[in-house]
Structure 1
Amino acid sequence: MVEAVIFDIGNVLIEWQPERYYDAIMPRAEREAMFAEVDLHAMNDIIDSGGPFRETIYDWAEKYPRWADKIRLWHDDWIKMAAPEIPRSVRLLQALRAKGIPVFSLTNFGIGSFDYACGFYPFLRAFDRPYVSGHMGVTKPDPKIYEMLEADSGLSGAQLLFTDDRADNIATAHMRGWKTHLFEGPGGWAARLVAEGLLTEREAQ
């Protein structure tokens, strides 16, 4: 029986598409050249593991003078990359909480960037238990972050239903016996919550 529902955040509750953001402000070929030269997602992984938000990005900008101005935008314009929210997913989160079903987050997110995002997206403060990688010092899909959630919540295996948009993150949870759902859109997630008996069709709209 499911005792708690776990949401990833990026591309589940909020769109996270840095490439799309850069394509809107610079020629695509130029953006592709920048991403080929600078592993910006590795930079973001440092933040998600607990590294300082602004300092990490600005340090990387200094290493790549050709792209420095654009790299600093990862911090200065960050909220435009983490946008927009996915309204139906947010409604599903709220519907679960309204029924008294515990809802957790399990997200690769930095300490500073998460606090910043909460100012724009108040629903990020609505989780019964937030599990944020920056505070935990480990990121998905490392099994340790899943172990930490289990130890803290006292729940494990089929007591947990987890959705994430990345197959590797889902795979680790599945190996631990969690119920899982690969998020490909809010419609499929809504249907899964109904199938699990957690929400009615009407509640899942």
Structure 2
Amino acid sequence: MIDTVVLDLGNVLVRWDPRRAFAGRLPARDTEAFLVDFDFMAFNHQQDAGRPWADARVDLAASAPEHLPALDLYVEHSADTLAGPVPGSAELVHDLRASGVRLLGLTNWSAETFHLAETAAPAIGLLEDVLVSGEVGVAKPDPRIFALLTQRFGLRPERAVFADDSAANVAAGSAAGYDAVLFTTADALRADLAARGVALPRT
């Protein structure tokens, strides 16, 4: 019996593309050097886990100062990285609310930029609450964030579906006892939930 659905946000409810911060502002070769060669995703994960952007800049100035212009652009234009709702996600959120299940969010997101999320995807505001990694200082797939999720909201993991677009996060959610599913599309998640007995209208 599923009584709770926990949703990741980035690329589940809201489209996130870091390249959008640099489009028309930074040469393509410099963008790729920052995002790929430097491994921006690993660098950004530390902000998701609570490191302030100011501290990140200090660290970057010491380790790879050639990427400071790219970092400054990313921070200044963070809103541009959010490309609106994931197709079908808003309708799914509305239908889940109508079904009567608890609806929560669990996101890896900097505490300093999380305020941008709901503007880009208003359905986020329909969730009961969101556990934001940057606010609690620990990020998926660290098992501690799933323990905190369970404790904070009084969940029974075996009665909760957790959906995320990261296979590593799905594996961590499953290890924590959640019925974890890999998100690909809103329609696929709708089918996954229906198969688990969540009453949803068909698309």
Please give the range of the TM-score, normalised by the shorter of the 2 chains: 0.7 to 0.9
Counterpart in 1 of 2:168?
A: 168
Deviations 1:54-100 (A, max 9, x none): x2454356444433322211111111112222131121112111232
Q: What count of residue pairs does the alignment treat as equivalent?
A: 202
Matches within 5 A, 1:106-117: 106-117=106-117
**Aligned partners of 2:106 and 2:55: how far apart in 1?**
23
Asked if the contact 2:21/2:81 (under 8 Å) is kept, the reply is yes
Alpha-carbon distance in 1 for matches of 2:60, 2:76: 12
**Equivalent residue, structure 2, for 1:122:** 122
CA change 1:193–1:40 in 2 (3 A) is same
Aligned counterpart, 2:11: 11
**Paired residues for 1:1-205 under 5 Å:** 1-19=1-19, 21-22=21-22, 25-36=25-36, 38-53=38-53, 55-56=54-55, 58-59=57-58, 62-63=61-62, 64-202=64-202, 205=203
Return the alpha-carbon distance in structure 1 between the equivalents of residues 179 and 87 of structure 2. 24
- Give me the TM-score of the superposition, normalised by structure 1: 0.86
Please give the alpha-carbon distance, in whole angstroms, between the structure 2 residues aligned to 1:49 and 1:150.
18
Inter-partner Cα distance in structure 2 for 1:20 and 1:73: 10
Superposed CA deviations along residues 128-159 of structure 1, whole A, max 9, x for unmatched, are 13111112211000111101111122223321
- Tell me if structure 1 keeps the 8 A contact 2:22–2:74: no
CA distance, structure 2, for counterparts of residue 188 and residue 17 of structure 1: 21
State whether residues 49 and 138 of structure 1, in contact with CA within 8 Å, keep that contact through their aligned partners in structure 2: yes
By percentage of residues, which structure has more strand?
2
Q: Any idea what the Cα deviations from partners look like across 1:88-119, whole Å, max 9, x if unmatched?
A: 11211121112321101011011121123234
- Structure 2 residues not aligned, in runs of 5+: none
Give the direction of change, closer, same or farther, for the CA distance of 1:84–1:119 in structure 2 (3 Å limit): closer
Distance 1:178 1:117 in 2: 25
Q: TM-score, normalising length from structure 2?
A: 0.87
Q: 1:23 to 1:60 in 2, by over 3 A?
A: farther
